[in-house]
Amino acid sequence: MDALEKKLLEEVHEFLSARDNDENAQYELADILEVIDAICVARKFSKENIFDKKLKKKDENGGFEKRFFLVQKD
């Protein structure tokens, strides 16, 4: 695991710890997005391509707006 992957996990844990404080949770989400941006640069991923893949998966599998998600897919 490289430094950015470790940082991403750290920020996710901080976000989860801030679940009872909306202001802190928003700052932690901002930190997560910052790390994701850095990962995209480091791995030469286009953010537009990642976004397109996100939309494709949402179209194929649905989103999480209703807080429902598939536990297992056969």
- pLDDT tens, residue order, the chain (74 aa): 799 999 999 999 999 999 899 999 999 999 999 999 999 999 999 999 999 999 998 888 887 776 666 666 66
Of 62, 7, 10, 65, the C-alpha closest to 37 is 7
pTM exceeds cut of 0.85 = no
Enclosing H/E stretch for 43: none
Q: Supply 38's token pair.
A: 């850095």
Q: What are the residues whose beta carbons fall under 8 Å from the beta carbon of 63, sequence distance 6 or more?
A: none
Q: What are the residues whose beta carbons fall under 8 Å from the beta carbon of 46, sequence distance 6 or more?
A: 40
